[in-house]
Structure 1
């Protein structure tokens, strides 16, 4: 099955929480509460996100984390690669292939093409697009009135 790891999923949820209040510094505990994750998990996810330049960290009593750049400038591929490393569908489809069968295998070109398509798809969606719809855009519940008597 092809899927991202739980940590990548958690990273997206945490980044969405940060993107909902851009510029504001959020404590790790606050992010854990908002994302409904354990604080050690949030800390584990924030470290590679900071290392990749997706979040900024601030020390001290009022320290915490915020997005390092606008949500519309953070493609999903950057999140995936911050947590999981370079995208590689197979051993031979990544940037640094180390497959011992590469010299006599005929499928490498096809896997690289598939890898490129997935990378392009992830690169074409930004964190901003992952934000939930704003309250103004949410559906308004409606009830239908009964038809007047005699109608």
Structure 2
């Protein structure tokens, strides 16, 4: 199993967003804690191209992981605490449900061996184990100790 570049970028970008939006050590020019960031700032910090960062912000906002704030002092921020966002949440926001095979996520399977497949009943256990492992890794742990 390999993550798409977009999912990988989403994890990197959410880690940067967590550092910007959840760290008391980040302050603005007036000494106030920064609670928001922007796709432009995240792109510059992570090296992710701006159009890709903007697309990710849209997908992550739609999935309820980021929140867009309008107006003066607006920007984007985490929709919930970084400890309450898992690696699985981020990956599923980009890739959809975590599944090793298509036959476990679709009601109909177009696989030619489906009628005689003895493996299909076991994929749900594998998928659950992978989802569980990814679910155990919080955004807080991903972003902890990383330098900006």
**TM-score (structure 1 length as normaliser):** 0.80
Give the one of 36, 43, 46 matched to 1:35: 46
| Whole-Å separation in 2 of the counterparts to 1:38 and 1:132 | 24
| Whole-Å separation in 2 of the counterparts to 1:134 and 1:41 | 22
Correspondence for 1:74: 85
CA change 1:92–1:134 in 2 (3 A) is closer
Structure 2 contact 66–79 (Cα < 8 Å) conserved: yes
Give the one of 136, 139, 142 matched to 1:124: 136
CA shift for structure 1 position 110: 1.8
Considering only CA atoms, is the larger Rg found in Structure 1 or Structure 2?
Answer: 1
Structure 2's unaligned 5+ residue stretches are 23-34
Aligned length: 133
CA change 1:134–1:90 in 2 (3 A) is closer
| Whole-Å separation in 1 of the counterparts to 2:39 and 2:137 | 26
The structure 1 segments of at least 4 consecutive aligned residues displaced by more than 6 Å after TM superposition are none
Structure 1 contact 22–70 (Cα < 8 Å) conserved: no
**TM-score (structure 2 length as normaliser):** 0.81
| Whole-Å separation in 1 of the counterparts to 2:93 and 2:72 | 27
Going by fraction, where is helix more abundant, 1 or 2? 2
Q: Which has the higher contact order (CA 8 A, sep 6+)?
A: 2
Structure 1's unaligned 5+ residue stretches are 136-151
